[in-house]
């Protein structure tokens, strides 16, 4: 969709009002993360998160564990590269390879509005590859358009929700894939939303021998089911309170 490529002056504005420096992103070509398995993964600096995210101040799983240290170093600029270099690195990922953008962090934005020019660069660099990610940015008209455009071109952006019913509503209203964080006790393999839409619990959270490398469900943009992630980690009580 040509309309999603911001005119040059908009790009300049978007880049120039980044608070301190261009956004930093790190690519790990072979992840050692037990949940993703050995696929390429990325981490975007903390400023990529929208302050309106339900987990911004509390409950964010990425703020604890080994990934937290990496995220802090990307955020401080000690690790990672600027966006333009990051885009070049994505082109080094083998064609056909599944990869996960943002184990921590979100898509580049200003006050929750996703940067269409930067995401368009990401979508183009992903061509022939099977990238996917999640976003907690608000589902306003602007962001929905960016998300739908990316999904139609092979880079899957899932809307992150705080309940399976909300994820169901998002899928029905906007025709985009959605996932939901659910209570840590909710680990049934399959169930349905209040409206009867199928929910699949992320297999990597309930089976030791499944990873994103072998599953890939989050990359399927036209799937008709919600994927649920039971709260985990040190903040799971806080997350349970938010999603309950």
How near is the Cβ of 15 to ligand SF4 at its closest, in Å? 31
How near is the Cβ of 179 to ligand SF4 at its closest, in Å? 8
Looking at the Cβ atoms of 65 and 203, the one nearer to ligand SF4 is 203
Looking at the Cβ atoms of 49 and 204, the one nearer to ligand SF4 is 204
Listed in sequence order, the residues at least 6 apart from 138 whose beta carbon sits closer than 8 Å to its beta carbon are 50, 52, 112
How near is the Cβ of 225 to ligand SF4 at its closest, in Å? 10
How near is the Cβ of 217 to ligand SF4 at its closest, in Å? 4
- The site for ligand SF4, by CB under 6 A, has a size of 10
Q: Which of 172, 228, 170 is nearest to 200 (CA)?
A: 228
The encoded tokens of residue 85 equal 């270099």
CB contact at 8 A, 24 and 81: yes
How near is the Cβ of 136 to ligand SF4 at its closest, in Å? 15
Torsion of CA 194, 182, 209, 27, to 10 degrees: 120
Q: Which stretch binds ligand SF4 (CB under 6 A): 70-78, 83-91, 181-189, 200-208?
A: 200-208
Q: Which stretch binds ligand SF4 (CB under 6 A): 20-28, 137-145, 167-175, 198-206?
A: 198-206
Listed in sequence order, the residues at least 6 apart from 196 whose beta carbon sits closer than 8 Å to its beta carbon are none
Looking at the Cβ atoms of 161 and 202, the one nearer to ligand SF4 is 202
Looking at the Cβ atoms of 77 and 216, the one nearer to ligand SF4 is 216
Of the candidates 227, 231, 239, 243, which one interacts with ligand SF4 according to CB under 6 A? 227
The neighbouring-strand residues paired with 53 are: none
| H-state helical runs in 27-140 | 66-76, 83-90, 116-125
Between CA 19 and CA 63 the distance in angstroms is 21
The encoded tokens of residue 96 equal 């056909």
- How many C-beta neighbours within 10 Å does residue 76 have? 12
Looking at the Cβ atoms of 6 and 210, the one nearer to ligand SF4 is 210
| Alpha carbon of residue 26 to chain centroid | 14
Contacts with ligand SF4, 201-220, as mask; x by CB under 6 A:
-xxx-----x-x--xxxx--
DSSP β-ladder status, 130-135 and 98-104: parallel
How near is the Cβ of 65 to ligand SF4 at its closest, in Å? 16
Q: Which stretch binds ligand SF4 (CB under 6 A): 54-62, 115-123, 181-189, 199-207?
A: 199-207
The neighbouring-strand residues paired with 132 are: 100, 156
Residues that bind ligand SF4 (CB under 6 A): 202-204, 210, 212, 215-218, 227
């Amino acid at each position: 969709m040509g309309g999603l490529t911001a005119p040059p002056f908009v790009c300049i504005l978007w880049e120039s009002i980044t608070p301190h420096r261009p956004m930093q992103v790190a690519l790990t070509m072979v992840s050692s993360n037990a949940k993703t398995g050995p696929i390429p993964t990325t981490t975007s600096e903390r400023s990529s998160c929208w302050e309106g995210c339900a987990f911004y101040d509390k409950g964010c799983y990425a703020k604890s564990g080994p990934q937290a240290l990496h995220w802090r170093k990307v955020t401080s600029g000690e690790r990672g590269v600027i966006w333009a270099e990051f885009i070049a690195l994505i082109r080094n990922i083998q064609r056909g390879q599944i990869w996960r953008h943002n184990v921590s962090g979100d898509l580049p934005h200003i006050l929750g509005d996703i940067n269409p020019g930067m995401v368009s660069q990401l979508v183009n660099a992903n061509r022939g590859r099977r990238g996917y990610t999640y976003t907690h940015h608000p589902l306003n008209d602007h962001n929905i358009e960016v998300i739908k455009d990316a999904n139609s071109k092979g880079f899957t952006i899932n809307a992150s929700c705080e309940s399976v019913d909300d994820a169901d509503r998002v899928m029905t209203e906007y025709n985009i894939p959605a996932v939901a964080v659910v209570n840590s006790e909710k680990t049934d393999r399959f169930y349905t939303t209040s409206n009867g839409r199928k929910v699949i619990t992320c297999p990597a959270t309930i089976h030791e021998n499944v990873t994103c490398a072998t599953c890939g469900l989050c990359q399927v943009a036209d799937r008709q089911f919600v994927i649920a992630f039971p709260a985990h980690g040190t903040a799971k009580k806080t997350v349970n309170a938010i999603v309950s």
